[in-house]
Amino acid sequence: MRSHKLLMIPGPIEFDPAVLAALGAPTTSHMDADFIEAFGESLEMMRQVFLAPHGQPFILAGSGTLAMDAVAANMVEAGDNVLLINTGFFSERFGEILRRYGADLYQLQSPIGGRPSLEEIETALRKRETKLLVITQVDTSTGVLTDVRSVAELAHHYGALIVVDGVCSVGAEELRMEEWGIDVALTASQKAIGVPPGLALWVVSPQAIERFKQRKSPVMNYYSDWNNWLPVMLSHEERKPSYFCTPAVNLVWALHVSLKQILTEGMEARFQRHTVLSKTFKAAIKAWELDQVPLKDEFAAHTLTAVRYPAGVQGSALLAEVAKRDIVISGGLHPQIKTQYFRVGHMGTTTIGDVMATISAIEQGLIACGYPIQPGVGLAAAQAAQL
């Protein structure tokens, strides 16, 4: 029996006990041979999780926003043409970061819940020479999933490198970095990677590393400068001590455990499991006759579901009713529709049992808030979706 409310938000997620045990273990020296081994193994396992056998992994203390900031700082020089595919709040954030480093930014946007078409993206790429195309695979604010593979094909056809914000996707959504030609993919520890908040993670393709080495101007961020960090990563893979600044020792130990668990499950099985979790939860949404924020089913992520409140139901009241049943879900995040929807995360260690418990709590909460649905209709639909 859980000693706390079940956390079903889009991150932080529930964490495996073995991961938490590693986090709570006595801290070792960052120069300890065992820690250097764990750090090096973690870098090697990241290649397998990102499906990037020739990529260069980085592990830094920080959040997903740090990963975005580091990629922008190292990959962008003043005046570079950058195309941003905007699908929500975190796409907007990435755009602001890119501007800070001097990018000449052009954005493609759609109505909230939509995503630009491939034709629109190709038209934008034709209009001007683009150095970098930046895309969010799953925007946590809208639950919109982007067709990364097709966009990457377009980017390389027009000579652009592609950066994927995978904060809410890596380790759960299908992402084949090397096969799809992705140049940089980034994430954070607290979502599908399954480690408490505090690590920024990314992998860089050989082509992007070469582009970085050809910079004509210094990196305008001291902490994030890959010139400082690349020797550290390379040394740890060689099992040699190296220092720039103190790593988040216990978080790296926890990452080491979590990455082993992910690879034991296997990436193909993991992609499939998250598809089933998503299908199960979304079947209940449909049975309740509720709308999602994504405008089409194929736009909807597998790591979370963004659900519009029914008419007459106050968001704060529904979230409180669900919490009474020991389940925590999130309210809206996108500023333009923040009070109109709620979000449920189903990634990482989430099980079908967790999803069913959440469906039950939301269903009871909707009924308590006066929404006229038949008790059990959501659970029945969710069970049928698994057959």
Q: Where are the domains of the chain?
A: 6-11+266-385, 17-265
Whole-number pLDDT of residue 3 = 75
Per the DSSP assignment, residues forming a β-bridge with 105 are 82
Q: Which CATH number fits domain 6-11+266-385: 3.60.60.10, 3.90.1150.10, 3.40.1190.20, 2.40.30.110?
A: 3.90.1150.10
Q: Which CATH number fits domain 17-265: 4.10.410.60, 3.40.640.10, 3.40.50.2300, 3.30.70.2860?
A: 3.40.640.10
- Residue range 183-236, pLDDT digits in tens: 999 999 999 999 999 999 999 999 999 999 999 999 999 999 999 999 999 999
Give the residues of the chain that fall short of pLDDT 50: none
Calpha distance 348→356 (Å, rounded): 16
Q: How many CB atoms lie within 10 A of CB 153?
A: 14
Whole-number pLDDT of residue 264 = 98
CB 192 within 8 A of CB 167: no
Global pTM reads 0.97
C-alpha dihedral sign at 276, 280, 285, 289: positive
Calpha distance 174→371 (Å, rounded): 36
User: Which residues, 6+ apart, have CB-to-CB distance to 216 below 8 Å?
Assistant: 77
Straight-line distance from the first to the last Cα atom of the chain, in angstroms, rounded to the nearest whole number: 27
DSSP element (H, E) containing 4: none
Whole-number pLDDT of residue 2 = 61
